[in-house]
Structure 1
Amino acid sequence: MQKRFAADPLRTRGRLVAEEESAFRSCFQRDRDRIIHSSAFRRLKHKTQVFVEHEGDYFRTRLTHSIEVAQVARTISGALGLNEELTEAVALAHDLGHTPFGHTGEDALDALMGPFGGFDHNAQALRIVTALERHYAGFDGLNLTWETLEGIAKHNGPVTGELPWALAEYDERHDLELYTHASAEAQVAALSDDIAYNNHDLHDGLRAKLFTEADIRGLPIVGDCYDEVDRVHPGLDDYRRRHEALRRVFGVMVADVIETSRAVLEEADPESVEAVRHLGCPAITFSDDVWRHMKEIKAFLFRHMYRAPSVVEMRKQVTTVVEELFPFYMEKPEFLPKRW
């Protein structure tokens, strides 16, 4: 049963271009479906977060990551009595604006785009779903609901300071109230991203031999989960033990978000989704201990994965590729695809 502070599809702020409602799907379900059927979502299969070259089909892409984030987000959202369809829509759309070649590609493109306002993947995601997708007869973009667009724009919190031009341009047409927190559903999507990101980077880093199981057993949460697996399932082969331990790490983080956020919501007792937006603090959060542990895991991954010599070398190659392609397409835009 949904709580009173959950987003209600019957009380949506609507779409920029009015449409007749579906007899079979809520407005948030339609948003989710439009995202899944978009060209930008399909293209995520070619984009990565850390690795550029793949060994078979093992390493995650932006597409598999987005699917994992959506799965985690639905679990948390359902446990908290939120709207699962809105949560899933935001989770599936959160990476649409990323460049190829992981974070390195974005850094390189941002530097090259400096004279034109820079590049921001969140603003680009909004631009994709409001303008660049051009499949529908009555509008450009996907014409998503205000609530889904709000979640894409500010799932990481209120947007302050100078706005990326794409975000500023759309906000003038359709005020997203960037100074407030997003709905609880969008906040769930953001933390689900953190959970999925950390856990699959541990998986992928082990697979790439950038660190060992002995290395990660020294990390908070991870070491305890390995110890529990050894106690409950002695004698497991390395592959099964690794999977079982990291599966439990995943579960610990999800459970912590649910329990901590439930306590925050019970104490704050927001009367509506609007009250959630104006709480003045996040409604969805980890406990202080798990926040600290998450930071330690991220610091470990930064040292041993994102700054590993092989990854640093890849970053140099990727930067060169982007730096050579950018002026070529600026001078010869006729070589760009006519449709995106």
Structure 2
Amino acid sequence: MSVGMAAPRSVYACDPDRSRGRLFAEPPSKTRSPFRRDCDRVIHSTAFRRLKYKTQVFVFHEGDHYRTRLTHSLEVAQIARALARQLGLDEDLTETLALAHDLGHPPFGHAGERALDSCLQGHGGFDHNAQTLRVVTSLEHRHPEFDGLNLTWEALEGIVKHNGPLTERGGEAVGRYRGHGIPAAVSDFNRTYDLELWSFASLEAQAAAIADDIAYDAHDIDDGLRAGLFAVDDLKIMPLTAEMIAEIAKRYPDLDNDRRGAELVRELISYLIGAVVAETRRRLEAAWPTSVEDVRNHGEQLIAFPADVAQQETGIKAFLKLRMYRHPRVMGVMGEAERILFDLFARYQQEPAILPAEWRLPHGEESETEHARRIGNFIAGMTDRFALTEHQRLFDSTPDLR
């Protein structure tokens, strides 16, 4: 089957008619599948709207053309749906997971995550993936009968496990959680609603995860070019992009730099999607899963880059880390952003009465950890501009992050 053709629904796809259901039982919709309802709930959530003013790499007021968490999530969803369509997966569930994957990110991108993790040391730390689970299971207050969005089991599983299992079958943490354990938000919820943390997630979740990588690579190149942090020709240092740049020059010898960059981004996205589809089909043919349960129990990710492309993709990430994420201009702004969150957290701890009423509990009714986590939840939900406004309200001097 060519990459341009949609595949019929596969036997290993998640079937909405066989969903494991929701934590709180609800009558079925007459017009939408369970996974379509999940996706719509994410889109209509408060947390999703706030992504419009949350940093991807550049703070929101640095320019209207840079990605925000919202535009990044939309681009991830587009790529994820393209993968799902080629592989015969459920597109609605794939889209749900792509749109929801960053709901737990705090303001100011990874700088905000580092700051909150530091503030919450001794109280479980901060993990944006765990925070996403907290958002969709408790922090959204839009329904009369439950907190959160009451997403299907498959959506919650995908949110938590899209990068692979969190534990061994016996419960021991694995991967990046081996040293510090499973985040409390995940382990606490898992006791209520078992997400089988030891197994792999569905192919829909795996598609959303690798779509995030593709979007980061391509669109951070686009933003870095627009910001002048590097030029198109600087990307010739990597064989993959060098070959693409040379081919673009042959086809369009007089193209200006802006269009060269845009064409390179398009070529890179198409190439990476095609590589993932080809490698995934190869792995599926070898594994021969006949159900989504076979996928969960397979023992490794089935949606992946081929080995050589994985190496090339790692090279792109290394380039962006050096030339973009650690660029002095970006590092300077992000250092000031971290200070803003450190200041806010400390002030709320010292003076809990200044928190909004819905984020306060009477003195003595919660432990120190519960109080710290409440503050962390409040700050994590802030947009960049609200965090700046709060800092201006509480402090005499606030960085302008430019």
- For this structure pair, what is the TM-score category when the shorter chain's length is used for normalisation? over 0.9
Query: Structure 1: any 5+ residue segments left out of the alignment?
Result: none
1:25 partnered with 2:26:
no
Contact 1:6 1:82 in 2 (8 A): yes
Identify the residue that residue 332 of structure 1 maps to in structure 2.
351
Match of 1:187 among 184, 194, 206: 206
Aligned-pair CA distance for 1:218: 2.1
Q: 1:68-95: per-residue Cα shift (whole Å, max 9, x none)?
A: 0000000001100111110000000000
Match of 2:71 among 50, 64, 67: 64
Within 2, Cα distance between the matches of 1:299 and 1:24? 46
Aligned-pair CA distance for 1:220: 3.0
Identify the residue that residue 293 of structure 1 maps to in structure 2.
312
Aligned-pair CA distance for 1:231: 1.5
Contact 1:222 1:246 in 2 (8 A): no
Contact 2:16 2:34 in 1 (8 A): yes
Contact 1:187 1:284 in 2 (8 A): yes
Cα gap change, 1:13 to 1:53, in 2 (>3 Å): closer
Contact 2:77 2:98 in 1 (8 A): yes
Within 2, Cα distance between the matches of 1:333 and 1:11? 46
Identify the residue that residue 224 of structure 1 maps to in structure 2.
243
Specify the SS of the correspondent of 2:313. helix
Within 1, Cα distance between the matches of 2:84 and 2:137? 26
Identify the residue that residue 47 of structure 1 maps to in structure 2.
54
Match of 1:135 among 134, 142, 152: 142
Specify the SS of the correspondent of 1:2. coil
Within 2, Cα distance between the matches of 1:72 and 1:333? 43
Aligned-pair CA distance for 1:291: 0.2
Identify the residue that residue 114 of structure 1 maps to in structure 2.
121
1:88 partnered with 2:73:
no
Within 2, Cα distance between the matches of 1:333 and 1:22? 42
Number of aligned positions between the proteins = 340
Q: Normalising to structure 2: TM-score of the pair?
A: 0.83
Q: Normalising to structure 1: TM-score of the pair?
A: 0.97
Aligned ranges 1:254-273 → 2 under 5 Å:
254-273=273-292
Within 1, Cα distance between the matches of 2:20 and 2:131? 22
**Which amino acid in 2 is paired with 1:309?**
P
Within 1, Cα distance between the matches of 2:257 and 2:347? 48
Q: 1:207-247: per-residue Cα shift (whole Å, max 9, x none)?
A: 11111111112223211111121112221222112111221
Aligned-pair CA distance for 1:55: 3.5
Identify the residue that residue 377 of structure 2 maps to in structure 1.
none
Identify the residue that residue 155 of structure 1 maps to in structure 2.
162
Percent identity between the aligned chains?
52
Query: Structure 2: any 5+ residue segments left out of the alignment?
Result: 1-7, 168-172, 174-180, 360-380, 382-402
Identify the residue that residue 340 of structure 2 maps to in structure 1.
321
Identify the residue that residue 151 of structure 2 maps to in structure 1.
144
Q: 1:163-201: per-residue Cα shift (whole Å, max 9, x none)?
A: 100111100000000111100000000000000011111
**Which amino acid in 2 is paired with 1:322?**
L
**Which amino acid in 2 is paired with 1:234?**
P
Aligned ranges 1:197-236 → 2 under 5 Å:
197-236=216-255
**Which amino acid in 1 is paired with 2:323?**
H
Aligned-pair CA distance for 1:53: 5.2
Q: 1:147-175: per-residue Cα shift (whole Å, max 9, x none)?
A: 00000001111113211001111000000
Identify the residue that residue 7 of structure 1 maps to in structure 2.
14
The worse-fitting range, judged by mean Cα deviation, of 206-215 and 165-174 is 206-215
Aligned-pair CA distance for 1:320: 1.2
RMSD between aligned alpha carbons?
1.2
